[in-house]
């Protein structure tokens, strides 16, 4: 009996613990707003960001402030699997508020501003996936909202993002058009961060178009603004861009000068990807100057960091460079080793790009198919609407004709009524005249003829006298 009691107590304890754990899990889901999120798998920085933002989110009932805290997660969370989910959640919540058609124009504009931001973010994700037509549609949708709000910073950002798509597609003229439009707005609003980016992008396009003086001019303007606002990462990028142009022009002294400046900043901010590219560029410049030992030193350092990162494109760049350096040094063993690594990484990149291209083609085909189906469906709807419109027009014409007939008939009856009433009045007047004439004649007759009573009275008097 005692054994059964303890067993029951144990089972009850397990049940209580299970219920408590389940309640805690539900509580965590409510706090993080997402069903599927393992906060412990995120970086410490992202954990702090999400916890602090959502604490503030739950401590207010003002929806615009809640949207602001969610937007803060979207903007600053580095986890590519998490921030898009919060972006979708924000879009859903904002859509619900917009659907309510709030009478306050100011509040409605705030909702639209948040909504445009979520659409822009969705377009960025679609662009990365290679779903270019859909991404362009989303950018255009966001652009229209920003234009309706007269949000010039938002408009400039969308134009810049659209220009980036065309740049990646190889349509440099179209890209140039969007970058120039973005630059014009950035100059108007005085957004120096955006202005520096726009100038840098234009420098890139003119470099690709081989208009080197223009490219250098735009890069230097971008560099000057980044120095002014102390944009360190931007500065490192500008130094590298100028180094690459002078390398192409054969001015290796300026090339090395700018690459070294860029490397110092990348090391300072611990941007390892930037460090690999800059070290590789410096090594290539030293190789051109036949400074083989310095080139090898820089190349090996680039190779070491590239291996730490493990990105095929970065490893490929460093391996290709070290192959050239080893060949120049006559170290054929190392040259073969790095060459094999280069080929392996290159094939990996090609396979990855081929896979992306296949997915892109599939997505494009799917998009075009959906678009065609939507177009056919729209044509059907248009045909139905046209028939309905024609039927409505026929109904309107019929009603107008009926009303016209009714009006004409009413006018006719009204005129007949007036004529009849006039004729009746004339007849009544004639009748009155006739009756009056008869009465008049009778009065004359009565006046001329001796009355019957008078005659009888005189006869009786005569009889009495006899």
Q: Which residues of 206-238 are buried (b: 16+ CB within 10 A; e: fewer)?
A: bbeeeeeeebbebbebbbebbeeeebeebbbbb
Helix 63-76 × helix 44-58 angle, to 10°: 170
CB 296 within 8 A of CB 325: yes
Sign of CA dihedral 281, 205, 216, 221: negative
Read off the pLDDT of each residue in 98-111 and give the average, rounded to a whole number. 88
pLDDT value at residue 338: 74
pLDDT value at residue 333: 78
Q: What is the pLDDT of residues 426-440, one digit of tens each?
A: 666 666 666 666 665
Indicate the DSSP class of residue 1: -
Q: If pLDDT is split at 50, 70 and 90, which confidence band does 355 have? A: very low
pTM higher than 0.85: no
Read off the pLDDT of each residue in 369-392 and give the average, rounded to a whole number. 67
Report the alpha-carbon distance of residue 397 to residue 419 in Å, rounded: 33
Look at 240 and 410; give whichever has higher pLDDT: 240
What are the backbone dihedrals phi and psi of residue 353, each rounded to the nearest 5 degrees, phi first?
-70, -35
Read off the pLDDT of each residue in 21-38 and give the average, rounded to a whole number. 65
Look at 307 and 53; give whichever has higher pLDDT: 53
Report the alpha-carbon distance of residue 415 to residue 436 in Å, rounded: 31
Q: What is the pLDDT of residues 54-93, one digit of tens each?
A: 999 999 999 999 999 999 999 999 888 889 999 999 999 9
Read off the pLDDT of each residue in 373-400 and give the average, rounded to a whole number. 71
pLDDT value at residue 23: 42
Long-range contacts, stretch 348-351, CB < 8 angstroms, 24+ apart: 348/312, 349/312, 349/313, 349/316
pLDDT value at residue 227: 95
Burial bucket for residue 334 (CB in 10 Å: 0-12, 13-18, 19+): middle
Q: If pLDDT is split at 50, 70 and 90, which confidence band does 94 have? A: very high
Helix 172-189 × helix 152-168 angle, to 10°: 160
Short-list 144, 140, 120, CA closest to 71: 120
330: left (phi over 0), alpha (psi -120 to 50) or beta: left
What are the backbone dihedrals phi and psi of residue 370, each rounded to the nearest 5 degrees, phi first?
-60, -40
Read off the pLDDT of each residue in 123-141 and give the average, rounded to a whole number. 90
Task: Tell me: pLDDT of 25 over 70.
Answer: no
């Amino acid at each position: 009996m005692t054994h059964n009691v303890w067993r029951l107590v144990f089972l009850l304890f397990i049940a209580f613990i299970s219920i408590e754990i389940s309640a805690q899990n539900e509580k965590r889901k409510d706090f993080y707003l997402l069903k599927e999120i393992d906060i412990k798998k995120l970086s410490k920085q992202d954990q702090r960001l999400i916890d602090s933002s959502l604490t503030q989110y739950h401590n207010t009932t003002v929806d615009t402030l809640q949207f602001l805290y969610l937007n803060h997660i979207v903007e600053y969370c580095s986890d590519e699997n998490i921030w898009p989910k919060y972006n979708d959640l924000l879009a859903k919540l904002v859509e619900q508020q917009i659907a309510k058609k709030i009478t306050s124009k100011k509040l409605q504009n705030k909702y639209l501003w948040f909504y445009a931001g979520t659409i822009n973010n969705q377009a960025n994700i679609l662009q990365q996936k290679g779903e270019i037509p859909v991404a362009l549609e989303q950018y255009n949708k966001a652009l229209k909202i920003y234009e309706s709000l007269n949000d010039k910073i938002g408009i400039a950002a969308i134009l810049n993002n659209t220009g980036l798509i065309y740049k990646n597609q190889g349509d440099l003229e179209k890209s140039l058009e969007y970058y120039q439009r973005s630059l014009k707005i950035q100059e108007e609003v005085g957004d120096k961060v955006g202005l520096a980016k726009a100038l840098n992008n234009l420098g890139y396009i003119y470099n690709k178009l081989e208009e080197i003086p223009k490219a250098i001019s735009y890069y230097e303007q971008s560099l000057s603004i980044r120095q002014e606002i102390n944009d360190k990462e931007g500065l490192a990028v500008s130094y590298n861009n100028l180094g690459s142009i002078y390398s192409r022009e054969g001015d290796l002294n300026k090339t090395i000068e700018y690459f070294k400046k860029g490397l110092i900043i990348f090391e300072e901010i611990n941007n390892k990807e930037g460090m690999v590219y800059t070290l590789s560029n410096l090594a290539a410049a030293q190789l051109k100057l036949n400074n083989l030992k310095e080139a090898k030193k820089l190349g090996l350092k680039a190779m070491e960091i590239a291996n730490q990162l493990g990105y095929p494109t970065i490893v490929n760049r460093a391996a290709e460079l070290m192959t050239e350096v080893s060949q120049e040094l006559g170290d054929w063993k190392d040259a073969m080793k790095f060459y094999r690594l280069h080929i392996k990484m290159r094939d990996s990149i090609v396979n990855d790009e081929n896979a992306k291209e296949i997915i892109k083609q599939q997505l494009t085909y799917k998009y075009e198919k959906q678009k065609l189906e939507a177009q056919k469906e729209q044509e059907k709807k248009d045909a139905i609407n046209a028939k309905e419109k024609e039927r409505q027009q026929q109904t309107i014409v019929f009603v107008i004709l009926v009303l016209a007939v009714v009006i004409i008939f009413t006018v006719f009856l009204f005129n007949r009524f007036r004529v009849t009433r006039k004729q009746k009045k004339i007849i009544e007047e004639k009748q009155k005249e006739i009756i009056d004439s008869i009465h008049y004649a009778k009065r004359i007759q009565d006046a001329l003829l001796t009355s019957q009573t008078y005659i009888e009275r005189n006869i009786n008097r005569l009889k009495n006298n006899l």
